[in-house]
Amino acid sequence: MTSPLRVSAAVADALADGRPVVALESTIISHGLPRPRNLEAAREFEEILRSRGVTAATIAVLDGVPRIGLDAEGVERIASEDMAKASVRDLPILSAKRISGATTVAATAYLASKAGVRVFATGGLGGVHRGAGQTFDESADLSALAISPVAVVSAGVKSVLDIGATLERLETLSVPVIGYRTTNFPSFWLRDSGHTIDWSVDSAAEIAEVMHSQDALGHGQGIVVANPIPLDQQWDPDEHDRVLAQAFAAAEAAGVHGKAVTPFLLGFIVDASGGKSLEVNLDIARNNVRLAADIAIAWSERASTRE
């Protein structure tokens, strides 16, 4: 069978030459940011990579075809069209129906790994939802990481989730979690969730070494690289806690349940914070893209040294 993926010429050439490539998700653009700010952000994230000599591989499904790397028109489409939010389970349906979709962390990691892209930058991971003991609500990001050998740079998981349970699930799935210059697991808008992790690294080169060791062991899982937002950029913790409590109370009062809870909470938080949470989101994404670029460069250099 021919591959269902369409890898852009720029990404294919970079992979063939052993040059650094970083995957970027499209859901953050289509669903996570308002228009026209989302298009500006998409272009900015790609430019951060290009300025460091790294090829950007923004991933989306366009007209049923998973695209690994988008041209300018493709980036504009994910920013302007109303697209489905596509996780891994949605990919065959989108393909069969020739429908476009913006890829979640799960789908982006899965497709990146299939294309041979080893580093992926996002904002925050999905995880185990609060109350999952009754609802069984858990993001597919976790199960996708268990089968996708990609280093995913994120600022932990959003504080609306059950962070402790998320870390337990990652352990059960044998997904390594590494703090970048920290053993405090971040909670997206804040540097410290109150949960610690066992391992930290001080450089992108160390992460590349872990990736190499993982390959040598035949360990097919991904790696979570937890990259806390700088202290001067994090959301004020007191304001964060106040707005978060308001958001949960509003969701309860509105009777919001199931998969609608997280979008409701995040939308409420943006409004209640006067857009502050959105600005922190963008700083988080920028920081993660920069670190992912460093890791991709270190991975490329390590590969060339082995040859």
Distance between CA 233 and CA 236 in Å, rounded? 9
Give pTM, 2 decimals: 0.94
User: Which among 44, 76, 158, 307 is annotated as catalytic?
Assistant: 158
Mean pLDDT confidence for 80-102: 95
Distance between CA 146 and CA 306 in Å, rounded? 27
CA angle in degrees (0–180, nearest 5) for 302-43-80? 130
Report the share of the chain in percent with pLDDT over 90: 81
Contact 124, 288 (CB under 8 A): no
pLDDT in tens, 115-131: 999 999 999 999 887 87
Among 192, 191, 193, 197, residue whose Cα is nearest residue 170: 197
Among 289, 264, 268, 293, residue whose Cα is nearest residue 278: 268
* Known active-site residue 25: yes
Structure tokens at 11: 């990404």
- Residue 280 among known ligand-binding residues: no
**pLDDT band of 136, cuts 50, 70, 90:** confident
- Residue 215 among known ligand-binding residues: no
Give me the domains of the chain, ranges plus CATH numbers.
Answer: 1-117 (3.40.1790.10), 129-307 (3.40.1790.10)
- In sequence order, which residues have a C-beta less than 8 Å from that of residue 41 and are 6 or more positions away? 28, 29, 33, 282, 285
Centroid of chain to Cα 76: 20
Contact 60, 102 (CB under 8 A): yes
* Known active-site residue 158: yes
- Residue 97 among known ligand-binding residues: no
| Strand 223-226 to 151-154 pairing | parallel
Contact 121, 200 (CB under 8 A): no
- Residue 192 among known ligand-binding residues: no
pLDDT in tens, 139-171: 899 999 999 999 999 999 988 899 999 999 999
Residue 3: per-residue pLDDT = 73
Structure tokens at 9: 């010429």
Does position 60 have pLDDT exceeding 90, yes or no? yes
- Residue 141 among known ligand-binding residues: yes
Among 228, 261, 253, residue whose Cα is nearest residue 160: 261
Mean pLDDT confidence for 50-61: 98
